Amino acid sequence: MGRHSKAVLTGAGIDRRDTGYYSTPEPVAEFFRRKLLSLNPAPKLVFDPCAGRGELLAPFQDCGARLCGFDIMDMQPGGFFEFERRDFLLAAAAAPDSNGLPDADIIVANPPYNCHEHDYLREHKKRFALAFGRGAALNLYSLFIHAIIRSAKPGCLIGLITFDSFLTARGHEELRRFIRRECRIHSLLLCPTDLFRDQGADVRTAILVLQKGPQGAQRIEVAGRPETTAGFRQVLRTDAFRTCAPEDVCLSSPRDRGEFVVEVPQAVRALFAMPRLGEKFPCKTGISTGNDRTYLSRERREGFSVPFYKNPGKRRFYTEPDAWLRDDYKTAAQNRKNFIIRNRPYIGRPGIACSSMGVAFGAAILPEDSAFGVNANLFPKEKNRWWLLAYLNSSLCNYLVRGVLLRSNMITAGYVARIPVPDMPAAVRQKLEQTAREAYEARPGAAELPGFIEKIDEAVFDACGMPDPDRDGIREFCAKIVERT
Ligand SMILES: C[S@@+](CC[C@H](N)C(=O)[O-])C[C@H]1O[C@@H](n2cnc3c(N)ncnc32)[C@H](O)[C@@H]1O
């Protein structure tokens, strides 16, 4: 989730976007010192493979260990650790007996996440694929995690603060499995979204404390995303973490992709044993125009009369079309290779359009004789359409999508198809249907939504037997969804 401005300079005049330079805030560095020294009170060597000015090494100055750091930039870190201007990834990709990496007992890192990683990754693609596997080189930060774990010796402790899309994004499934296979997880803490905001970055990050070696049955410290950095500091300072069993921090059904989940209640995790949307109803994407300007019009006008729905976003139950598609769009599909029509037989059928962009998840009626974009669209039989619309707009569903299945990125049909569908008795379906129809008729703006959502929530929570504290937790999550996702 993006950064605010184009050029973001550090105090030293370095463009953070070029270098991926974001200083770790002091309370996080301090947390790593306390946590890692509590696990190994007498390390001989502490290493930061992307040390910058040594923000993460500084708190270890008095622990008696040798401190070493690599970085591709020399930021004159000030001599309190042994600095080498060196590319850690290339070093870690070399043969273990000749890579010259320090024999660390503790590794700490805030790996770079920048916008200009593509050229670098392309240049070294073959080498990294050979050393770390093909899926590892998706981006810099995931490559760092991979390289750090691979190069760590057995028993080595690893403290990471990093971009957190690897927790749920599909492309990082292999990395998640690699972490679980190679490491014991001590802590998995989601950081607040404003943690790096004073440095111009709006990034979702997480803290991981790992130890190279098997997990066993030891419990894991977890913390969901706090709303603010002030709250987070308090959590870090007081070690106010919950703990959970290793099997509670991931989705383990073969239908899922090993997503890491944090503080997800047991009653919600149990729903992932239920059938999924895509198993019960057709879940389809439609048209990508390749060039919206040519094929879509904001207003209905001559030649553009096909209602086109592509992302209801915050609009729920009822929405006007997002645009109007050219009447001759089928000809365009024959003549232009960028104009793609998927699932042709479904175009024109009545259904439900699900949101794809934006943090909150929701859905609206897709009327008959309209076309749809690359968002997910569901095509249940008419008797199921309205209760399903209600369920898709429930707080539970919103939480299942943004608190469990996918914390970052666009919600594609693949994710929507994996939303669990709890068993709804006929009376509950009837109640949901009625509320969804009322909401549709009322054509609510965002401000009038809560009344309907509350009614729906009550019916859905009751049907799932959701305990009261979990209901409150889910409602709170949805009320602050941008901060909590
Ligand atoms: C997010 S900053 C972290 C700085 C500091 N360690 C901290 O925690 O505040 C990431 C650092 O990674 C460095 N870096 C980027 N690519 C690297 C590479 N291949 N090898 C070593 N360092 C790298 C950047 O120069 C930058 O200093």
Q: Is 379 in the pocket of ligand 1 (CB under 6 A)?
A: no
User: Of 403-417, 439-453, 461-475, which has the strongest mean pLDDT?
Assistant: 461-475
The pLDDT assigned to 19 comes to 60
Mean pLDDT across the chain: 91
Residue nearest to atom 6 of ligand 1 (CA): 51
How many whole angstroms from 251 Cα to the centroid of ligand 1? 31
Q: What is the whole-number distance in angstroms between the Cα of residue 113 and the centre of ligand 1? A: 9
The confidence score (pLDDT) of residue 20 equals: 66
Amino acid letter, residue 247: E
* Most informative mutation of 3, 10, 14, 21 for ligand 1 (most atoms within 8 A of CB): 21
CA of 80 to the centre of ligand 1 (A): 17
Cα within 13 Å of Cα(101), Cβ side? 29
Strand ranges (E), 274-422 = 283-284, 287-288, 296-297, 304-309, 323-326, 340-341, 351-354, 363-366, 371-372, 377-378
**Percentage of residues in the chain with pLDDT exceeding 90?**
74
CA of 203 to the centre of ligand 1 (A): 16
Torsion of CA 174, 175, 177, 179, to 10 degrees: 160
- Does the pTM exceed 0.85? yes
Say whether 201 sits in a helix, a strand or coil.
Answer: coil
Q: Give yes or no for residue 120 CB within 6 A of ligand 1.
A: no
pLDDT in tens, 213-238: 988 889 999 999 998 999 999 999 98
| 481 CB within 6 A, ligand 1 | no
377-405: pLDDT as tens digits = 999 999 999 999 999 999 999 999 999 99
138 confidence band (pLDDT: 50, 70, 90): confident
Q: Averaged over 83-100, what is the pLDDT?
A: 91
Quick one: pLDDT band at residue 8, thresholds 50, 70, 90? very low
Closest ligand 1 atom to 89 CA: 19
CB 153 within 8 A of CB 178: no
220-223 and 183-190 beta bridge pairing: parallel
Give the pLDDT band (50/70/90) at residue 17: low
What is the 146 CA–ligand 1 centroid distance (Å)? 15
Residue of 56, 72, 124 best suited for mutating to test ligand 1, as the one with most atoms within 8 Å of CB: 72
How many C-beta neighbours within 10 Å does residue 425 have?
10
Kindly state if the Cβ of 28 falls inside 6 Å of ligand 1. no
For the chain, domains (ranges, CATH) are 16-263 (3.40.50.150), 277-484 (3.90.220)
What's the CA gap between 350 and 356, in Å, rounded?
Answer: 19
